Amino acid sequence: MTQFYCMILLPESEAQPGQSDPQASGDWQERAEVASRYLKLRAKRSAIAEAHLWSDPAWDILLELFVGHVKGKNITVTSACLAARRPSTTSLRYIDRMLQEGLLQRERDPIDNRKINLRITDQAFRAVSDWVDALREQIAAV
């Protein structure tokens, strides 16, 4: 039985990409770059030991959706499953749970009705953004 644990503290409303002034857009791109690099480093851990030892599929999916949101890219369910680096059935269970928890939303692709895109919710987006900012602060303090 797979257990899912996720604790995200939801901050007060903050401007997101597309809602902020043009000068702040560079800051969003920096946040997306930090999250993207973090995901790549997590993937490299498999050189140390098998990937299942490092598994955190829900977090990887959430970060992938965060980066996609900032960059204006649609993330399909298939892409989200690949980001989790777990079997599709496992990834889909995590996606369903995150949908139930209000972290993700499903949307039909406007161009191809056969595709389903996932979007990070506003509250989850703000929480991940705060986490990325905290990560940047910790790295800068080193």
Contact present, 123 and 32 (Cβ < 8 Å): no
Could you tell me the pLDDT band of residue 110, with boundaries at 50, 70 and 90?
A: confident
Q: Please determine, for residue 137, whether its predicted confidence score (pLDDT) is greater than 90.
A: no
**Residue 29: predicted pLDDT:** 87
pLDDT at residue 33, rounded to an integer? 82
* Rounded-to-integer distance, Cα 9 and Cα 3, Å: 20
- Predicted confidence (pLDDT) per residue in 44-95, tens digit: 666 666 656 666 889 989 999 999 999 999 999 999 999 888 889 999 999 9
Q: What is the per-residue pLDDT for 13?
A: 44
Task: Output the pLDDT for position 105.
Answer: 96
Name the H helices within 6-121: 25-44, 57-71, 77-84, 88-100
CA angle 75–93–126, rounded 5-degree value: 50
Pick the CATH number of 55-140 from 3.40.50.2000, 1.10.3080.10, 1.10.10.10, 3.40.50.300: 1.10.10.10
Q: Output the pLDDT for position 22.
A: 40
* Per-residue pLDDT at 44: 66
Q: What is the pLDDT of residues 3-43, one digit of tens each?
A: 444 444 444 444 555 544 443 577 888 888 888 777 777 66
pLDDT in the model for residue 9 = 42
The residue type of 85 is: R
What are the extents of the domains in the chain? 55-140
Q: Determine the pLDDT at residue 55.
A: 67
| pLDDT tens-digit series, residues 117-136 | 999 999 999 999 998 898 88
117: left (phi over 0), alpha (psi -120 to 50) or beta: beta
Which pLDDT score, from 0 to 100, does residue 34 have?
81
